[in-house]
Amino acid sequence: MRGGMVSGGTGTPAGGAYTWGMRWWEFESVIGSDVVALVRGAAAEAERRSALTPEVVRAIVDRGWFKAWVPREFGGLELDLEAGLRLFEAAGWVDGSFGWSVMIGAGGGVFAGLMRETTAHAVFDPKEAVIAGSGNPRGTAERVPGGYRVSGRWLWASGAPWATTFTANCVVTEGGQPVPGANGGPLIRAMAFEPAQVRIHETWDANGMRGTASHDMEVIDAFVPEERMFSVFEGEPWHPGTVFRVPFVEFAEATTASVLPGVALRLFELVAASLRERTEYGGPRLMAERDDVRSRMAEALVTVEAGRTLLFDAARQTWAEAERGRPAPATLARLSLAANFAAAGALRAGAIAAPLGGMALNQRADEAGRAWRDLQTAGQHGAIRPTGLAVRGAELLAE
């Protein structure tokens, strides 16, 4: 659906009620109270097994969130950019691993416009369609008649256990030698694998985002027909959908960043609740009554708000231009800056609020502690790492 609406069963606008106060976000109306209860009730089990439970994955599939960007003719929601980002933020507020899994699973939907049309239908028509994979070209694709022989091992394929298709970038070779690409480096192409061609190595044992099942994936001498090869960064999409006019790099930055403010706001909520119940050490006064605590929590909240507000504004501008054609380079640079700023702001807000949460945050079973760990782990992703701002800063300072 277009027009910035996402429904968790209530038809409420994706942004939810927005009134100034201690809690102005209303993410439950986006996700649905039944899903919120399901996900949070299963969070400890997801931590233990390093994967979302089957019931939670089914809830995502039933609501079409893995197909957020997929065109309607494939049974997708075809969301606009801001609506998708608000969905991922709300999902991150429910639980970090849940939000990340929804975002990553949905992200593969943009490949529908890059694959050949027949392949796209084969991959995305099923209701449960979801892609796991990697953009790092850690494999080789040797050209053979009719396609490629592919081998490689890729790290951190989030959602691997429930993926219906796997994709990964590879260096294309002929006679064992890399084929030159247009930019002077080796030619990089993405391959779409059947699940039976992929071996999942259960390597994901991280401090945070444990439920994302971001395991390694390996392919050994698998044949991939020509029609299941595509390019993420080159060529024109066959589908006219607006989302396919947003370049993948900036799209990935924005979607990845959108989860972090939701996680940070959940951490804020949980710490605030704790501060209203705990007394200061050695005295009767509640922690929430201390001016220094109040100031730090206010700073944390406005830091998140600044980043997410800029991100949504940049998303609206980008989408408006994409509906008319290609977004201007300056608009894409603004979206990139906004994404990195929003992610950095969420991390800063967490660093302000978390120390106020007390010893409970050190307990693995503590929800605030999980949110804090999730936030730090998500902040390490290459699309939104702090050095990302330096790239755009160099562009701004160039003559």
**CATH number of the domain where residue 332 is located:** 1.20.140.10
Q: What is the pLDDT of residue 24?
A: 56
Alpha carbons 176 and 141: distance in angstroms, whole number: 9
How wide is the angle at C-alpha 172 spanned by C-alphas 164 and 120, nearest 5°? 30
- Give the burial string for 26-54 (b: 16+ CB within 10 Å, else e): ebbbbbbeebbebbeebbeebbeebbbbe
The CA R_g of the chain, rounded to the nearest whole Å, is 21
Residue 253: its H or E element: helix 248-275
- Per the structure, the count of domains in the chain is 2
H or E element in which residue 149 lies: strand 147-157
**Domain extent at residue 273:** 246-397
Same domain, 161 and 201: yes
My answer on whether 337 and 374 are in the same domain is: yes
pTM of the complete model: 0.92
- 264 with 201, same domain? no
Which of 20-29, 238-247, 367-376 is the least confident region? 20-29
CATH of the domain at 148: 2.40.110.10
| CA nearest to 121, candidates 54, 78, 60, 75 | 75
Q: Is the pLDDT of residue 233 over 80?
A: yes
Residues 252 and 367 in one domain: yes
Tokens 């307990």 belong to residue: 363
Q: What is the pLDDT of residue 10?
A: 34
Q: Is the pLDDT of residue 319 over 70?
A: yes
Number of other residues whose CB lies within 10 A of the CB of residue 284: 7
Place 386 in a pLDDT band, splitting at 50, 70 and 90: low
H or E stretch including 58? helix 54-62
Same domain for 199 and 273, yes or no, is no
In the chain, the percentage of residues whose pLDDT exceeds 90 is 85
Q: What percent of the chain has pLDDT over 70?
A: 92
* Residue 14 reports pLDDT greater than 60: no
Q: Are strands 199-201 and 165-174 parallel, antiparallel or unpaired?
A: unpaired
Same domain, 267 and 376: yes
Distance between CA atoms of residues 262 and 123, nearest Å: 30
Output the average pLDDT for the chain.
Answer: 92
Can you read off the two tokens belonging to residue 160? 């691997």
Segment 14-43 mean pLDDT: 75
263-273 residue pLDDT tens: 999 999 999 99
Mean pLDDT of 275-302: 94
| Separation between Cα atoms, residue 117 and residue 334, nearest integer Å | 32
Burial of residue 153, with CB atoms counted within 10 A of its CB: 0-12 exposed, 13-18 middle, 19 or more buried: middle
